[in-house]
Amino acid sequence: MKDNSYQAVMARSNEIMKKAIGMDYSQFERGQLAFDYQAMMTEAGYSLEEVIAVQRETGVGNTPLYELKNITKLARINAPKGKGARIFLKDEASNPSGSFKARRAALAVYHAAKNGYKGVVAATSGNYGAAVASQAAIRGLKSIIVQEAFDSKGIYQPEIEEKGRACEAYGSEVLQLSVGPELFYVFLRVLEDTGFFNASLYTPYAIAGVETLGWEIVQQLQDQYSLKPDMVVVTNAGGGNLTGTARGLRKAGSDALVVGASVDLKGLHMASDQDFNRKSFTTGHTGFGVPFTTWPDRADVPRNAARPLRYLDRYVTITQGEAFYVTELLAQLEGLERGPAGNVSLAAAVALARELDEDQILVVQETEYTGAGKHVNAQLSFARKNGIEISVGNPADSVPGQSIILPEHPSQIQAVDMDMDDLRRSYLKHALGILNGAKPQPEDISFLAEDCRVTPEFIESFAQGVK
């Protein structure tokens, strides 16, 4: 009989993961901190063309690209003369499960079926779970979704309930848990007990699946409009969306600026039972975006293929109220009703477009489907029930967990820059802390420089300062 205590299961997590992914991550290790990132990505074994073919088999990808002419006009009204980039939107809600995560799931589930796994397991708040369940149904595999769903009082957020229903609708078995460390424990137990494939968000398969999104943006702009993107704004949470999109942009020959955008939830702790239902966004917020940017290997795989600092040119935040407001703008000005979490990048884009010239091209990288639990009204009603003050005014005055302020005017929508060097320093503190004062080896220095997009001299200087 195996010891299934929490400590014992955690101790054999690497062994469980190796069987559940079929990849020996130890082969990529170099030095004390370093690993060969490109070799790990190549090990997935699928070219961009092969990923596109796999996704087309199940109706994933090739989603529409729209020019948001009315929102562009609105941005220009509030921009300096000659400013106001043309805003385009990649409509990922057109994927089978209603979000870009169908791209990640398509390749992961295909790989599982190809390698003889009988089913797939994913730990998720919901959108990815729906994508995995949908793709598993098409491929004839079983699926189990482990979902962090409610607080200690058993209260669900309406968006999480909506996502859980979606997973079940596609035929998945959904295990819903309260907020806390039991999620990873149950996830490991399920993988070990079933022998199913770990369709993690953070494997090379998941990231390779998103590369087609970046590639399509470049191709569609060229084919439909004879244009090239100058800036692509990506909603950032765990980093896979940004990493995959950026890699796809580069494979398509684009040097567009890659901007990450998250809802500012500073002061709320994602693992806190008290704070769990005091936020109105379950993804696309700084509670995931910042921790995964500053220490990506906190993931459910030994080495995370989502490494946003390698690709970020800027990282900005917007408020909850701004995201809700822009969701209404998209519906009422462009006739597209999409879920608020997917409009985080659009909210940032409305502000960022005012910085760019009129002849420049800004692409909002994704949308997501909406539904009863995802709707603005459901989210705001739930917030009000939890004591959050809802008002109209200056969104910059809002306090996460206390108030949501909807803008009085579009000119109040702002994108607030995060300090990229602060993020890098935080990442390096985590990394160098593993060494317990030991000197990083040359391969560690090179790896950290690549992971942070800085010079080796920057890393060496920082390491000396830490000592």
Fold for domain 54-97+207-417?
Answer: Rossmann fold (3.40.50)
How many beta carbons lie within 10 A of that of residue 46, not counting itself? 19
Alpha carbon 115 to chain centroid distance?
A: 27
Whether 91 and 336 have beta carbons less than 8 Å apart is answered as yes
Query: Can you list the positions of beta strands (E) in 172-271?
Result: 173-178, 197-198, 231-235, 257-263
- Sequence ranges of the domains in the chain: 6-51+99-204, 54-97+207-417, 429-466
CA distance 125 to 147: 5
CA distance 86 to 63: 19
**pLDDT tens digit sequence for 302-345:** 899 999 999 999 999 999 999 999 999 999 999 999 999 889 99
Considering only the C-alpha atoms of the chain, give the largest distance between any 2 of them, rounded to a whole number of Å.
Answer: 73
In this prediction, residue 465 carries a pLDDT of 80
What residues contact residue 194 under an 8 Å CB cut-off, 6+ apart? 118, 119, 121, 144
| pLDDT (mean) for 51-80 | 97
Letter for the amino acid at 416?
Answer: V
Q: What are the tokens at 277?
A: 């239902």
CA distance 386 to 402: 9
Which of the 8 DSSP states describes residue 285? B
CA distance 112 to 257: 34
**pLDDT tens digit sequence for 161-177:** 999 999 999 999 999 99
Helices (H) and strands (E) in the chain, counts: 18, 15
Which of the 8 DSSP states describes residue 225? I
Whether 329 and 71 have beta carbons less than 8 Å apart is answered as yes
Give, in words, the CATH class of 6-51+99-204. Answer: alpha beta
CA distance 187 to 17: 10
Write down the mean pLDDT value for the chain: 95
In this prediction, residue 466 carries a pLDDT of 67
Query: Pairing relation of β-strands 86-90 and 65-67?
Result: antiparallel
**pLDDT tens digit sequence for 371-423:** 888 999 999 999 999 999 999 999 999 999 999 999 999 999 999 999 999 99
Whether 259 and 233 have beta carbons less than 8 Å apart is answered as yes
Helix (H, G, I), strand (E, B) or coil at 86: strand
What residues contact residue 155 under an 8 Å CB cut-off, 6+ apart? 277
181 confidence band (pLDDT: 50, 70, 90): confident
Q: Do domains 6-51+99-204 and 54-97+207-417 have the same CATH topology?
A: yes
